[in-house]
Structure 1
Amino acid sequence: MKALLLKDFYTLIKQIKIYIILILIFASIPGYSIAAIAMVYAAMLPITALAYDERSKWNSLALMMPYSDGSIVGSKYVLGYIAVACAALLSIAAQIVMSLIKNTAFEIEGIVSVILVACVATVMLAVNLPFMFKFGVEKGRLAFFALIIIMTGAGMLLGDGLAGFLSESYVNIVTAMFAAVVFTLVINLISIAISIRIYKKRV
């Protein structure tokens, strides 16, 4: 799978440098709404990688290589997880730096907010990828863009207000974060299983 990830990484770096730079910039700007946008954009990178695979007829070439269906499909999910995690870590680092500059305490709710938005981004990825493997990137764009609009809007609405809600809520924030992470994990495991089954039928 490492080789597959490197393939996608080199392809993305070569083709969409500006897009990746924008994700890094958005993730580095203090503010949870901007961080939400960065993580949603990061979750879109596997879709872009799939589009380049389709154009280059990669699936036909992959049949002659010693890669399992699980590795090929799983590499796209792992690519998305790495991208979202990098955006989340940059966002947390930016919030910490801003707190140090302003000489204010960095609240744990800030980290929880970023983690919850990262969960939303990875759930979006989990919902999207089976459609892309089933219909292809071009035919799956309608469902893709509809989901992006919904998730981006939700992320922007929830981003700045999430930390305030958590600080005022009686719900234990650790419990809320744990529940969100478990839900995200379950959805992604189901999505991976569906995508592998779809991919086997396509090839």
Structure 2
Amino acid sequence: MARYTGPKAKISRKFGDAAVLGGGKAVSRKNYGPGQHGKGKRSKKSEYSLQLQEKQKVKYTYGILERQFENLFHKAAVREGITGENLLRLCEARLDNTVYRLGIAPTRRAARQLVVHKHIVVDGEVVNIPSYSLRPGQVVSIREKSKSLEAVQNSLAGRGAKRFNWLEWDQSLLAGKFISYPERDQIPESFNEQAIVELYSK
């Protein structure tokens, strides 16, 4: 199953955001390029470059490869509403992202691994496809045999006060319900989704 396997901190530094890929190292960049010839100021980025960077930021954050992302964009474009917001809603509805948002896994990468290894159940059925798109009303839970996994227990213990309005968590059942697609202002990540729409409209 295809996924990004390259360096995480480097990508986080590229976007200046530690939330992208969860890179734990410093994300600050110097105002000049690397090497002995990089002491001048960085050149100003073109409009196309900024749009492409925004697309890559969303792709890396949600762990989506190019073809999948393109398919998601086309689905978002034919839906009613604003295309950019629809795109982010579809990204948020992915099973691996929902497992992460519910606190079952500490990162989206860890959530993807739980799904692939058949530890996650949707409406009583095991689903091992990270890109599975949830519909409002569906219930995501941990497989009975997997509830005692140390990784799952540690992640749930560290959930803290994180809550998302479009998800409902039942601690007694260790299950969460996908209530609805989120509104744009409910998604905490800072994306410029309109730039992605402009990029695809060229």
Task: Provide TM-score, normalisation by structure 1.
Answer: 0.31
Task: Provide TM-score, normalisation by structure 2.
Answer: 0.31
Q: Which has the higher helix share?
A: 1
Q: Which has the higher strand share?
A: 2
